[in-house]
Chains A and B, each alone.
Chain A
Amino acid sequence: MSKPEAVKEPSMEMQKAMIARNYDAITSKHETGRKVSSTFVPGNLNELLMCFDIVNNLPEINAIQAGMRKASGGYIMEAEKSGHSEDVCTYVKADIGQMSKGNIAPNGKPYPNPDVLMLSYTGCYTFMKWFELLREEYKCPTLMLHVPYEGDGHSTKNMRDYIVKQLKEVVIPGLEQVSGVKFDIDRLRQYLRNSAKAEDNLVWCLEQGKVKPSPIDAYFGGVYYIGPIFTAFRGTEDAVSYYEMLRKEVQGRIENHQGPLTPEGTYFNDQKYRLIVEGPPNWTNFREFWKMFYDEGAIVVASSYTKVGGLYDQGFRHDPDNPLESLADYCLGCYTNLNLPTRVDLLAKYVEEYEADGLLINSIKSCNSFSAGQLMIMKEVERRTGRPGAFIETDLVDPRYFSAANVKNRLESYFQMIEQKRRGGGSKTVAA
């Protein structure tokens, strides 16, 4: 039988209710008459969509949900049957496969067809192909926001202007047309104000990874912390209250010298290894994967995955005074849009600032966008920080790509390697 439900904190319960409400909003579109858009997590324009009363549906999140409910394997096979290759991003296949299997949302009701595909392109070409497939299926308009890649490691005024121009000339008029709602910049400002408030609290929470013992797990816990801000809730009052609640929970744990809760309901206080993790988690075996860490006393104090939808900890905030410009900056600065040296800088900085034992990379089989260059990243971070790195390989939502024995073996070796390095290995006893 299935494992017992994960122990949940109040903030998790709240988030769960928020997500359920959003799924209800999506699936009741025909009753409410609200329009639905599909869009991606990195660089999404949630506040802007809200200005047009458009409900936000995120295929990546649906794939994750399917992965965690153990449904993705079947969907992927279904997509492969219709000709999608084994090597293609499994989010895409989970989504496509789900469509051909009735397209049922987690609340049991069918997903309605989207009214618009809002494609904010931030570094992954798969996005474009994915939406081409969806457009073919749904025959709805696609609004493309092209975000220039930060190839030189920084954005320029030119890039920002280019995005703002597209917002003004393509995206906003397009959304007005789809929704029939007139754009009101003051409404946007209000949402952005909410976003910034929530972002402040999120950043505060994530930075508590520096505390020892860490009151958060910035990877397995982190994926919950970033839920509202990266999806359909950024800009909402709900998100503001969620992050206030989260902050209080984290604060409470710090006061009690407690680590985060594990799914088994115990506080993870005995933290032996502090890690920085790069790459998305595996969703099909999420609990099992997480357990491999806390069983060995490994806590993740910072991760890059919690930055896929925005690098708030590096100072960026949505800005009500410069609404369109700040949306542009946001898109430019999300993790998938960064070049490799910038990613190395960021990760090396985390290793130092969070006093981590090293960098662990979870390389995703079917995601070329994240995975290209990761071994180089690891070597470079190792070289700069002098702390050991390690490399494991899993997949997003394809259960066939998760080999527990292999991952566990590598993780245990890595933790023991850290341990051995700490002790200095007892070189004195080495026989002459």
Chain B
Amino acid sequence: MRCFIGIDLGSTTTKAVVMDENLQILGRGITNSRSNYDTAAAVSKQEALIDTRLTLFRRALSNVPEVSGKVDDILSDLERNFRHVQFLEQLEDLQNTCIANIKGPRFAGREKVVIEALEGTFSRLRDSSAAQYAPGVKRKSDFFRDLAGAEFMSHGEAVCKEAGLGFDLILNVYDKSIIEVENRPPAGDMEGKFVRALEKGTMTGSSILAPVQSALAIPLEETYVVGTGYGRVRLPFPKEHIRSEILCHGLGAHMMYPDTRTVLDIGGQDTKGIQVDPVGIVENFQMNDRCAAGCGRYLGYIADEMNMGLHELGPLAMKSNKQVRINSTCTVFAGAELRDRLALGEKREDILAGLHRAIILRAMSILSRAGGVKDQFTFTGGVAKNEAAVRELRKLIKENYGDVTINIDPDSIYTGALGGATFAVRAVVN
């Protein structure tokens, strides 16, 4: 079947969306952007294609009367097993890479013991991985680095201790190798992995097997790919396949909420106020100037300044009942203002509430420059996940523009990629 793909290369994460020619979303994928944009694009695309397969399975199974009511379980079982197969494959790659990296004076004469320790560690990792993918277990992360890393630490330490070997020796090899593995485009053969996952699974009854295998046999043909986001120029695409993220966010928001007229996107590096017409065409936009004050990065700095995780800022700010006025959205000044307020004995939650307000005030100014807020209003970008920012935004929108509908989609992180995929469909289908 013809697949249309949008890839949004953001500064921190890369997202992909796969669509069919009827503009139905088939799959979504996400990965860390890290250092290598090409890999990030390849990984997110592959993730979205995996998700697409799952959608196709779902469609196939929905016609099977015997499994009615059980499709969700079957699919989650299948996905779990698939992820496990995928994990094992990457683990093997990691093991081989680690072994290949055992060279140099550091290891001279000790290669054999180190290799044995590594093999022992990886063997335990393989065994324990089954538990990570057991039914009902909530995985801690979607990223291989996080999942493999934690286990490697505990098993590696134990193995080294038993062997009387310094753990730092294999840790060092691991650190070097994980980056290589991460930056390697993932191996293909998605179908093969699904077959292995099916074999692993418990539900291989023929009523399931046949429809799943026929869904698996549908070729996924990459008909057109559109790239967007800050890293877009780094994509190995011809120019016609690249769209600015302003247009992609406008169109993506329109696809989610066809009646939306105003879109606010607060991303890591910039803030955009966008007006779209009834068919999703951008009419007007404004964005912050060269200074990234008030964007997602600003919150990152604040989190660092307060020694907190980015995701903790919103919840803490929500606890405030007295807002401190922060006048500066300038990243540098805000740090100073923050320390000053803390020194004056203000509470952290109150200061944070003030900071969130400062960000939203700046966004309000960009919105008004773009022509104000019209019904319906859609908020996208990473900051849309921050409840304290959302609370301020709702307040200020109401004060300034009255009762407009405010949309915030749980999948809003995919807005740009969704717009990209829609452009891809339009490029071919029109």
A391 within 8 A of B: yes
> Considering the chains assembled together, what is the distance between the CA atoms of A417 and B285 in angstroms?
10
- In the complex, what's the smallest C-beta–C-beta distance from B49 to chain A, in angstroms? 21
Is there an interface contact between A409 and B246, defined as CB atoms closer than 8 Å? yes
Is there an interface contact between A389 and B284, defined as CB atoms closer than 8 Å? yes
**Known contacts A406-B289, A431-B23; A416/B369 CB under 8 A:** no
B78 within 8 A of A: no
**Known contacts A413-B244, A421-B281, A425-B279; A401/B290 CB under 8 A:** yes
Report chain B residues within 8 Å CB of A413.
244-247, 282, 285
A207 within 8 A of B: no
Report chain B residues within 8 Å CB of A405.
230
Interface size (B, Cβ < 8 Å)? 33
B429 within 8 A of A: yes
Report chain B residues within 8 Å CB of A410.
246, 285, 287
- Name the contact of A430 in the complex, choosing from B247, B280, B282 (C-beta under 8 A): B280
- In the complex, what's the smallest C-beta–C-beta distance from B90 to chain A, in angstroms? 34
Is there an interface contact between B23 and A429, defined as CB atoms closer than 8 Å? yes
> Considering the chains assembled together, what is the distance between the CA atoms of A420 and B276 in angstroms?
12
Report chain A residues within 8 Å CB of B24.
431
Report chain B residues within 8 Å CB of A388.
283-284
Chain B 259-309 interface residues, beta-carbon cutoff 8 Å to A: 270, 277-290
- In the complex, what's the smallest C-beta–C-beta distance from A374 to chain B, in angstroms? 11
A427 within 8 A of B: yes
Report chain A residues within 8 Å CB of B258.
430-431
B425 within 8 A of A: yes
Is there an interface contact between A393 and B289, defined as CB atoms closer than 8 Å? yes
Is there an interface contact between B23 and A409, defined as CB atoms closer than 8 Å? no
Main SS of chain A's interface residues?
A: helix
**Known contacts A379-B371, A413-B285, A426-B430; A431/B255 CB under 8 A:** yes
Is there an interface contact between B279 and A406, defined as CB atoms closer than 8 Å? no
A85 within 8 A of B: no
Chain B 132-166 interface residues, beta-carbon cutoff 8 Å to A: none
Report chain A residues within 8 Å CB of B22.
431
A403 within 8 A of B: yes
B426 within 8 A of A: yes
Is there an interface contact between B284 and A406, defined as CB atoms closer than 8 Å? no
> Considering the chains assembled together, what is the distance between the CA atoms of A401 and B429 in angstroms?
42
**Known contacts A413-B282, A420-B281; A429/B290 CB under 8 A:** no
**Known contacts A409-B244, A420-B281; A429/B430 CB under 8 A:** yes
Inter-chain CB contacts under 8 Å: number: 78
Main SS of chain B's interface residues?
A: loop
- In the complex, what's the smallest C-beta–C-beta distance from A413 to chain B, in angstroms? 4
**Known contacts A375-B369, A406-B270, A413-B282; A426/B287 CB under 8 A:** no
B53 within 8 A of A: no
Report chain A residues within 8 Å CB of B287.
406, 409-410
- In the complex, what's the smallest C-beta–C-beta distance from A81 to chain B, in angstroms? 20
Report chain A residues within 8 Å CB of B280.
425, 427, 430
**What 1/0 mask marks residues of chain A from 236 to 266 whose CB sits below 8 Å from any chain B CB?**
0000000000000000000000000000000
Q: Please, which residue of chain A has its CB at the minimum distance from the CB of B243? A: A416
> Considering the chains assembled together, what is the distance between the CA atoms of A390 and B284 in angstroms?
7
Is there an interface contact between A425 and B281, defined as CB atoms closer than 8 Å? yes
**What 1/0 mask marks residues of chain B from 387 to 430 whose CB sits below 8 Å from any chain A CB?**
00000000000000000000000000000000000000110011
**Known contacts A413-B285, A425-B280, A431-B23; A406/B243 CB under 8 A:** no
Chain A 389-432 interface residues, beta-carbon cutoff 8 Å to B: 389-391, 393, 401-403, 405-406, 409-410, 412-413, 416-417, 420-421, 423, 425-431
> Considering the chains assembled together, what is the distance between the CA atoms of A131 and B84 in angstroms?
75
**What 1/0 mask marks residues of chain B from 341 to 371 whose CB sits below 8 Å from any chain A CB?**
0000000000000000000000000000101
Report chain B residues within 8 Å CB of A60.
none
A53 within 8 A of B: no
> Considering the chains assembled together, what is the distance between the CA atoms of A410 and B243 in angstroms?
12
- In the complex, what's the smallest C-beta–C-beta distance from B4 to chain A, in angstroms? 11
> Considering the chains assembled together, what is the distance between the CA atoms of A412 and B282 in angstroms?
13
> Considering the chains assembled together, what is the distance between the CA atoms of A391 and B288 in angstroms?
11
> Considering the chains assembled together, what is the distance between the CA atoms of A427 and B254 in angstroms?
11
Chain A 221-240 interface residues, beta-carbon cutoff 8 Å to B: none
**Known contacts A393-B289, A406-B289, A425-B279; A416/B244 CB under 8 A:** yes
Report chain A residues within 8 Å CB of B243.
416
- In the complex, what's the smallest C-beta–C-beta distance from B264 to chain A, in angstroms? 16
- In the complex, what's the smallest C-beta–C-beta distance from B244 to chain A, in angstroms? 4
A382 within 8 A of B: yes
Is there an interface contact between A420 and B284, defined as CB atoms closer than 8 Å? no
Report chain A residues within 8 Å CB of B23.
429-431
Report chain A residues within 8 Å CB of B369.
375, 391
Report chain B residues within 8 Å CB of A423.
430
- In the complex, what's the smallest C-beta–C-beta distance from A241 to chain B, in angstroms? 42
> Considering the chains assembled together, what is the distance between the CA atoms of A390 and B270 in angstroms?
17
- In the complex, what's the smallest C-beta–C-beta distance from B281 to chain A, in angstroms? 4
- In the complex, what's the smallest C-beta–C-beta distance from A183 to chain B, in angstroms? 49
- In the complex, what's the smallest C-beta–C-beta distance from A343 to chain B, in angstroms? 19
- In the complex, what's the smallest C-beta–C-beta distance from B147 to chain A, in angstroms? 34
Highest count of chain A CB atoms <10 Å: which of B230, B244, B277, B283:
B244
Report chain A residues within 8 Å CB of B286.
391
Chain B 31-82 interface residues, beta-carbon cutoff 8 Å to A: none
- In the complex, what's the smallest C-beta–C-beta distance from B101 to chain A, in angstroms? 36
- In the complex, what's the smallest C-beta–C-beta distance from A398 to chain B, in angstroms? 11
Is there an interface contact between A426 and B426, defined as CB atoms closer than 8 Å? yes
Q: Please, which residue of chain B has its CB at the minimum distance from the CB of A403? A: B290
Report chain A residues within 8 Å CB of B255.
431
- In the complex, what's the smallest C-beta–C-beta distance from A381 to chain B, in angstroms? 12
> Considering the chains assembled together, what is the distance between the CA atoms of A421 and B254 in angstroms?
15
- Name the contact of A417 in the complex, choosing from B282, B289, B425, B429 (C-beta under 8 A): B282
- Beyond the given pairs A417-B247, A431-B22, 17 more chain A to chain B contacts, judged by CB atoms under 8 angstroms and listed by A's residue number, are A365-B289, A403-B290, A406-B288, A409-B244, A413-B245, A413-B282, A416-B243, A417-B285, A420-B282, A425-B277, A426-B279, A426-B426, A427-B280, A428-B430, A429-B426, A429-B429, A430-B280
Instruction: Identify 18 residue pairs between A and B in the complex whose beta-carbon atoms are under 8 Å apart, listed by A's number.
Output: A388-B284, A389-B284, A391-B369, A393-B289, A406-B290, A409-B244, A413-B244, A413-B246, A413-B282, A416-B244, A417-B247, A420-B282, A429-B426, A429-B430, A430-B279, A430-B280, A431-B23, A431-B24
Query: Which residues in B have some Cβ–Cβ distance to A below 8 Å?
Result: 22-24, 230, 243-247, 254-255, 258, 270, 277-290, 369, 371, 425-426, 429-430
Those 5 A-B pairs whose CB atoms lie nearest each other, nearest first: A403-B290, A427-B279, A413-B244, A413-B246, A425-B281
Query: Which residues in A have some Cβ–Cβ distance to B below 8 Å?
Result: 365, 375, 379, 382, 388-391, 393, 401-403, 405-406, 409-410, 412-413, 416-417, 420-421, 423, 425-431
